[in-house]
Amino acid sequence: MIQMMRALGVTAVVVASSLGGQAVAQTKQLTLCWAAWDPANALVELSKDFTTKTGIQMKYEFVPWTSYADRFLNELNSKGKLCDVIIGDSQWIGGAAENGHYVKLNDFFTKEGISMDDFMPATVVGYSEWPKNTPNYWALPAMGDAIGWTYRKDWFARPEIQAEFKKKYGRDLAPPETYEQLKQIAEFFQGREIDGKKVYGAYIYTERGSEGITMGVTNVLYDWGFQYDNPKKPYQMEGFVNSPEAVKGLEFYKSLYKCCTAPGMSNAYMSEGLDAFKSGQVAMQMNFFAFFPGLYKDPNVGGDKIGFFVNPKQKYHFTQLGGQGISVVSYSEHRDDALAYIKWFAQPEVQKKWWALGGYSCHKAVLNDPGFPKSAPFAADFLKSMDIVKDFWAEPSYAELLLDMQKRVHDYVVADKGTAQEALDLLVKDWQKVFKEDGKI
Amino acid sequence: MSVFRSVNDRANMSTLAEQAVARTPRRLALRFRGLSDRAIAWLFITPSVLLLLAINIFPLLWTIQLSFTNYRANRPNAPIRYIGLDNYRDILTDTEVWHAMQATAHFVLWSIGLELVLGFGLALLINRRFRGHSVWTTIILLPMMLSPAVVGNFWTFLLQPQIGLFNSAIALLTGVDPSSFQMIGDVALAPWSIIMVDTWMWTPYVMLICLAGLRSIPDYIYEAAEVDRASPWRQFWSITLPMVMPFLMLAVLFRAIENFKMFDMVNLLTSGGPGSTTEVASITLKREAFEKWRTGYSSALAIILFVTVFGAANIYVKALNRVKQR
């Protein structure tokens, strides 16, 4: 009897495990890789519809921004199979295309009737094309983003502050249109006591380790006239990267850092900016639009207390592009399912829901909707910003180019090493060396 | 009684050996019967040797090979060229690398110096066996039990100018505004910040080694010195310090090797900044290898660092042996 019971038990275990194995084999699953931030939570919510429709389960690999590039570029370079679908940073596109990490999507787009004309032109160039301005697509524009600004609308609206500002500067205190105005406002608020608390003028990017200070500095330099190279002769950087205008722009960034930021902000990026703003420490904050829905909902500084404005202009008017495209990883063993996800995500209805949940759609069906500018307090500024975006190099050597710039500008802005002219001259030399090694000059 | 027990034990042992032989499968026993002791010894150490070859020697040889190439791990399709000693020449003429080496030397020398003075001082105190000394020993040892990543993170908060406890404490003592200075964001103070945190964390370790040295000195030597009316100062210079010296040198060796390759704590505290002020060699190596993806170049840098540490450690160990022989 005991032997019979044992035999039955063993049989039950074998049957159960084989059934379980079948169940696992039948469950399709895709792994999506991205950064760990607010829009990723919105995407998790959105993707539930994809699972309902297709039965394909979604698994997520979200990594904090500071290690996002390290983690996923390592994964791609080692031909890892962790990610089936990846929302990779805009600057990765060159390397990912040339090294075969991403699946080229042209044939798929043609077959499925997905047209790049349905997406905002700046996002197609920024997130999908390599080489730039050629119809070679490696990603679908997924998350439109650019650097914008938030400000304390409630502080700006206080009559006593308004009066004092007008007396000092002879104009109304309002969101700045130029960087000169922004600096004046920042100086005005720096060290001021509001509601019994010492506050500071502005929050700007200064992070050293990944890409922080470069994103902040370029955002300002573009407006002064900085260019990556000669528009008529690619990779000729002398006189463009280190032009007198670029030097002035870099000097301005340093002066803004020195005069008007909170103490201890010598290595700060997105999350430190959010903390500074949410804790009521700063009057104005430079940050990506992706965070604005979350800030608007914040119980302490959101709602009526927060305002938004486009990156101010100076001689020119640009802003630093953020955002990412969604790509299929060529080492994925679930390529068809991954392409099915892209096809689903490209649908106008899905894109509308994406925006409603807190993601920034790049689809014209969403952005050209007459109601879009009023759909959120920052929507109109987002539209304006996406018309004036500029991005960092997207070359296969982008990581080296980025680290060179991180070092040179951090040395000058934060560590007080040398002059702006010297920093940009050295940057030109660094970049020339990289492009020379790449055989491009 | 003990003799009987010993005989019994031996009898039991022999029984156990016989049992083991009896239980060994016949086929296995036949296979081993013809092997010499030397062959059996090799049989036992082979797995360890293979493991060592796989995880230590092979990567080292591969790194040496890569250091003579232009290989980049992020360019799998690019051709790999042998470029001779170009990487080594580039490194040795690169001012940034020399700056990183200087930053490393500054960090290593000062942190070890401070840890040695403080650790030895604490060991002398604890060695007095005052009431509650074991509790104090445990409290002092706590920092070295923490992970460097945790230490890096919480010291980042402690050194924060607006909310940090460190700045507040300095403000309390000196009367300056706590947010008027920043430790890890200031070019002059940042190198001292990482030295301070490392000293805080690793002084207990040095203390522990020194304490072992102090406790190994026989009491009769001090008793003899007292009979000879040697002053406490004389006892310290003529007995304590010479006899603890090998232990001190050992502590210096361990800490120097550790601090030369220090990465996690510095990376979390300053990321090598502000600018490149605290960019020690290991951070440069990580940036070149895993951010810029210059695999060949970074392999050469790794070899240079390895040879430096290995060479210095060898010279030092010889000196240590000489001190021990005195």
Q: Judging by DSSP bridges, how do beta strands A147-152 and A306-310 pair with one another?
A: antiparallel
Please say if the pLDDT value at position A186 is more than 90.
yes
Of A290, A296, A99, nearest to B74 by C-alpha is A99
Q: What is the pLDDT along chain B (326 residues), one digit of tens a residue?
A: 444 444 455 555 556 667 777 777 777 766 666 778 888 899 999 999 999 999 999 999 999 999 999 999 888 778 899 999 999 999 999 999 999 999 999 999 999 999 999 999 999 999 987 888 889 999 999 999 999 999 999 999 999 988 899 999 999 999 998 888 999 989 999 999 999 999 999 999 999 999 999 999 999 999 999 999 999 999 999 999 999 999 999 999 999 999 999 999 999 999 898 999 999 999 999 999 988 889 999 999 999 999 999 999 999 999 988 887 77
To which residue do tokens 């630093």 refer?
A: A320
Strand positions, DSSP E, A293-438: 306-310, 319-320, 324-328, 389-390
Across the interface, which of B73, B180, B291 has its CB nearest the CB of A403?
B291
Asked if the domains A29-145+322-382 and A147-227+238-320 are classified in one and the same CATH topology, the answer is yes
Determine the Cα–Cα distance for residues A413 and A247; give it in Å rounded to an integer.
12
Interface test with A, best of B90, B276, B277 (most A CBs within 10 A): B276
Of B75, B185, B291, the CB nearest to A70: B291
Indicate which of B293, B297, B298 best probes the interface with A, i.e. most A CBs within 10 Å of its own CB: B293
The pLDDT assigned to B8 comes to 52
Do residues A176 and A185 make contact, with C-beta atoms less than 8 angstroms apart? yes
What is the distance between the alpha carbons of residues B287 and B298, in angstroms, rounded to a whole number?
A: 9
In sequence order, what E strands does A97-242 have?
A: 140-143, 147-152, 193-194, 197-198, 200-203
d(CA A202, CA A249): 17
The answer to whether B272 contacts A208, with C-beta atoms less than 8 Å apart, is yes
Long-range contacts of range A234-239, CB-CB < 8 Å, 24 or more positions apart?
A234/A440, A235/A435, A235/A440, A235/A441, A236/A441, A237/A428, A237/A431, A237/A432, A238/A428
Q: Please check the confidence at residue A278 and state whether its pLDDT lies above 60.
A: yes
Nearest residue to B82 via CA among B60, B62, B61, B67: B67
| CB-closest option in B271, B273, B291 to A415 | B273
The pLDDT of residue B32: 66
Can you tell me whether residue A17 is helix, strand or coil? helix
Q: Among partner residues A77, A264, A267, which is closest to B74 by beta-carbon distance? A: A77
User: Does residue A16 register a pLDDT over 90?
Assistant: no
Contact B185/A411, CB-based, under 8 Å? no
Secondary structure of chain B: what % helix, strand, coil (to 5)? 75, 0, 25
A29-35: strand order across its sheet: A57-63, A29-35, A85-89, A324-328, A140-143
Q: Return the residue matching tokens 């609206």.
A: A157
Q: Which pTM was predicted?
A: 0.84
Tell me which of A148-152, A211-215, B23-27, B49-53 is least confident. Answer: B23-27
Residue A427 CA to residue A412 CA, distance in Å, equals 11
More confident call, A209 vs A319: A319
Q: pLDDT, tens digit, for every residue of B298-318?
A: 999 999 999 999 999 999 999
Strand pairing partners for A431? none
Of B75, B275, B292, the CB nearest to A410: B275
Q: Kindly determine whether residue A99 and residue B75, on different chains, have CB atoms separated by under 8 Å.
A: yes
Query: CA angle, A399 as apex, A398 and A401 as ends, to 5°?
Result: 60
Q: At residue A19, does pLDDT exceed 50?
A: no
pLDDT on residue A23:
44
Q: Where are the beta strands (DSSP E) in A197-243?
A: 197-198, 200-203
Q: Which residues pair with A34 in a beta bridge?
A: A62
Top residue of A400, A419, A430, A440 to mutate, by most chain B CBs within 10 Å, is A400
Q: Name which of A70, A263, A411 is nearest B275 (Cβ-Cβ).
A: A411
Distance to chain B for A96, nearest Cα, Å: 9
Q: How far is CA A392 from CA A94, A114, A234, A340, B34, in A?
A: 12, 27, 14, 31, 71
CA-atom Rg of chain A in angstroms = 24
DSSP string, A257-284: HHHHS-TT-SS--HHHHHHHHHTT-EEE
- ipTM confidence: 0.78
Closest CA–CA distance from residue A61 to any residue of chain B (Å): 20
Residue A104: how many CA atoms within 13 Å on its side-chain side? 11
| Angstroms from A18 CA to nearest CA on chain B | 35
Rounded distance, CA A404 to CA A224, Å? 21
Can you read off the two tokens belonging to residue A47? 């993707």
Select the residue of B182, B287, B293 nearest A264 (Cβ to Cβ).
Answer: B182
CATH classification code of A29-145+322-382: 3.40.190.10
Q: Where are the domains of chain A?
A: 29-145+322-382, 147-227+238-320
**Bond before B204 cis per omega within 30 degrees:** no
Are A264 and B160 within 8 A, CB to CB?
A: yes
Q: What CATH architecture does domain A147-227+238-320 belong to? A: 3-Layer(aba) Sandwich (3.40)
Sign of the Cα pseudo-torsion (A356, A359, A364, A369, in order): positive
Angle, nearest 10°, between helix axes A212-224 and A244-260?
A: 120
Which chain B residues have a beta carbon less than 8 Å from that of A79? 76
A308 DSSP β-pair partners? A150
Question: CA B252, CA B258: separation in Å to the nearest integer?
Answer: 10
Task: Please report where in the chains the tokens 């560590």 appear, as a residue.
Answer: A415
Q: Which of A91, A98, A266, A413 is the best residue to mutate to test the B interface, defined by the most B CB atoms within 10 Å of its own CB?
A: A266
Chain A interface with B: residues with Cβ < 8 Å? 70, 73-74, 77-79, 95, 98-100, 207-209, 262-267, 396, 399-400, 403, 407, 410-412, 414-417
Whether the per-residue pLDDT at A18 is higher than 50: the answer is: no
Residue type, position A145, single letter: D
For residue A30, list its beta bridge partners: A58
pLDDT of A381 > 80? The answer is: yes
CA distances from B61 to A390, B47, B53, B58, B299 (A): 45, 20, 10, 5, 11
- Report the pLDDT value the prediction gives residue A171, as an integer from 0 to 100: 96
The larger pLDDT score, comparing residue A349 to residue B77, is at A349
CB atoms within 10 A of CB A417: 18
- Which pair of tokens denotes residue B125? 């105190």
pLDDT at residue number B36: 84
Helix, strand, coil percentages (3-state) for chain A, rounded to 5, are: 50, 15, 30
The domain limits of chain B are 1-32, 88-325
- CATH of B88-325, picked from 1.10.10.10, 1.10.3720.10, 3.40.640.10, 3.40.50.1220, is 1.10.3720.10
- Partners of B187 on chain A (C-beta within 8 Å) are 415-417
